[in-house]
Amino acid sequence: MNIYKSLLAFVFCSLLTVTSYAQNNNFTVKGKVTGNTGKALELATIVLNDALSTYTDKNGTYVLHNVPAGTYEWHVLYVGYETAKGTLTVKEGTANPLELNVTLRELGLALKDVTVTANQVQMGSKSQIDQEAIRHIQPKSLSDLLQLVPGNLTENPDLNKLSQAHIREIEENDNNAMGTSIVMDGTPLSNDANLQAIAVTRSGASSSSSADGMGGQTTAGRGTDLRTVSPGNVESVEVIRGIPSVEYGNLTSGVVIVKTKSGYTPWEAKVQVDPFSKLVYAGKGFTLNDGSAINFSVDWSQSWGDTRLHYLGYERITGSAGYSNQWGPFSMNVRTSFYSNINNRKHDAQMEDLEMTYKNKNIGGRLFVNGDYKPENAFITKLQYNLSAQMSMTKDEHRDYVYSPDPVITNTRKSGTQIAQFNRAQYFSEYEIDGKPINLYAQLQASKYISLNDVSNMNFKLGAEYTMDANNGKGFTYDIATPPQAQGSQRMRPRAYDDIPALNTLSIFASDRAKLGLGPMAATIEGGVRFTNLFLDEDKSGGRSHITVWEPRLNATLNILNKKNNNLFDDLSVTGGFGISNKMPTLLYLYPEPAYYDYPSLAKYSDIASDRLALITTDVIENTQNPDLKPTNTRKWEIGFNFRIGRTKGFVTYFNERHRHEFGFQGQLYLMDCPKYDVPATATDLVWDAQS
């Protein structure tokens, strides 16, 4: 508990500093951002110390009010241009307003120095993938970009198989992928309401009753499918492998932060063709007369796992449109996107006799609205908001040949012995898994930046977050007379999804990032605490009404050597951190369907209807949920050092991660009483009296 108390004390003291510190000497910084051709760049982003920020107007000019005295590291970003960086000092005697004009150099494949791996961020285990690297590797999906992160394996691009984010893992692991949060334009992509499973209590997260390959295309019980994000519209990617800020929650492995293109961009077109796939992409951003900007992109891809079997294929279509504007201290970005992922096993000359078809579809849309409000002469520096709605239509369609079916079948949902029906000797079985996951998300975050002196500052954040996940799909359906292959006493039943309770989650977080000057050295400390409460349906979750977790996290960097105090090292820093994070259980694990066990008690068949009788004994286990199910819990700590000598950089990190309560499915021995009846072979006019 000492870490909890220490971090709470750190945040509380920071809050006292915020409420008591008086800032009387505020300045104004203004200027103009242009390209290397002299063209004014509209909606460029200007950031000071990763805390104060604004955008340029249609003339390329900007104004930053209420800038406290101090030394700032600034950077200017614009889509399609190199990021400019520098240092700015604001103090007594400085011109007010202070002018800072910046010229950006346009990106191109002919740049002299291009980094085609992820750049290490100095504080914590973070990697930044910029536009230069994205252009050079020509990715087909977001997972191709993650191969640039240290520790990830390099593989041939393959759109035919499910694409998951794995951080600090060599072998694929569903819990690792589920515990990786994919954050796009400030909003996490949710997969918590995905229920594409044929029968959870029987087959776990599998969506197929046969070895047709379609079961590996669904993401129930896994992470977000990265193929739904077009890499052509990605501006940058940041991967947090270590300890993330407390503003990120519902995760264990790490965070992948995706920033899409916004504002003006020139026409971009890309065509990729190889023996296994085709890809076409086009995108463009426009500026309007009122200073706003719109942009769009479209993407089409087709892929085959085996060029000899083109009927086994994958097809993707994505499209997005965005709008950005700024009205004085208020900014807003609106982005909508559409995606269609389809895996087909179509009719083929070799399969016409069997007439088997399999299809997996994932079609959806996303709407993101985010921005900030920077009031003048107010208690807070910036108020940020993120709103989103995500919905998808997921469907698995199977037409399979059942060559060895169960001889006696029933569709009863009650325990006991009852009349059943004889099954066909062989037949085609058609079933669907129809899901409609819905996610609503809202986050509000207030920050206060304080300059303590010329080299020391603090940035305090306080925020709240709400998430809702539900699934309104038809669920698992099939013709009762032709059920899917079961093979065993545990059978399946149709199940609707719209009666499954929604997940409602509320989180509150507070953090402070302090940069302190220590003579010739400098220290940066970021600590915070996150509180999360998941609300449960008490009647359907084993009597529980909620799950609550606390998550303290801390990162620190001590810069020991720099250009000011030695002639060898441009930078030598020691880093370290500790953090606790949790991934809440998803709908798949919280609300499984009942388990059904069917045992044939009598099977007397005759061509004469009155002389044949089938009886089956059914046991129904209604309460299959785990009342002791806990969130997956991860405790991380790491320590390392970074150095830079001229153009040589090095990063060494030792980390320790312990994962507990990971999700999964495990069978249990179940004993049931199964009466067995027999009748003479010559018996006729058979009747079952359930009361006798």
**What pLDDT digit, counting tens, does each position of 286-297 carry?**
988 888 899 999
CA-to-CA distance for 164 and 226, rounded, in angstroms? 6
User: Between 335 and 119, whose confidence is greater?
Assistant: 335
The Cβ of residue 39 has, within 10 Å, a number of other Cβ atoms equal to 12
Q: Per-residue pLDDT tens for 627-671?
A: 899 999 999 999 999 999 988 888 899 999 999 999 988 888 888
Q: Per-residue pLDDT tens for 52-109?
A: 889 898 889 999 888 888 889 899 988 888 889 999 888 877 778 889 999 998 876 5
Q: Per-residue pLDDT tens for 215-235?
A: 567 788 888 999 889 888 899
Amino acid code (one letter) for 535: F
Contact between 257 and 237 (Cβ < 8 Å): yes
Closest among 433, 430, 443 to 480, alpha carbons compared: 430
| Residue % of the chain over a pLDDT of 70 | 89
Residue 274: its pLDDT value, please?
84
Closest among 626, 624, 604 to 615, alpha carbons compared: 604
User: Between 71 and 156, whose confidence is greater?
Assistant: 71
CATH class of 2-104: mainly beta
CA-to-CA distance for 13 and 604, rounded, in angstroms? 80
CA-to-CA distance for 408 and 601, rounded, in angstroms? 10
pLDDT average, residue stretch 609-616: 90
In terms of average pLDDT, the best of 402-406, 411-415, 680-684 is: 411-415
- CATH 2.60.40.1120 region(s) of the chain? 2-104
- CATH 2.40.170 region(s) of the chain? 119-660
What average pLDDT does the chain have? Answer: 86
Q: Per-residue pLDDT tens for 519-574?
A: 889 999 999 999 999 999 988 888 899 999 999 999 999 999 988 888 899 899 99
Amino acid code (one letter) for 262: S
| Residue % of the chain over a pLDDT of 90 | 45
Residue 22: its pLDDT value, please?
44
Residues facing 395 on adjacent strands: 361, 434
Closest among 455, 78, 462, 23 to 246, alpha carbons compared: 462
Structure tokens at 402: 């059942």
Residue that the structure tokens 């009747």 belong to: 687
| CATH for 119-660, options being 2.40.170, 1.10.1740, 3.40.50, 1.10.287 | 2.40.170
Residue 505: its pLDDT value, please?
98
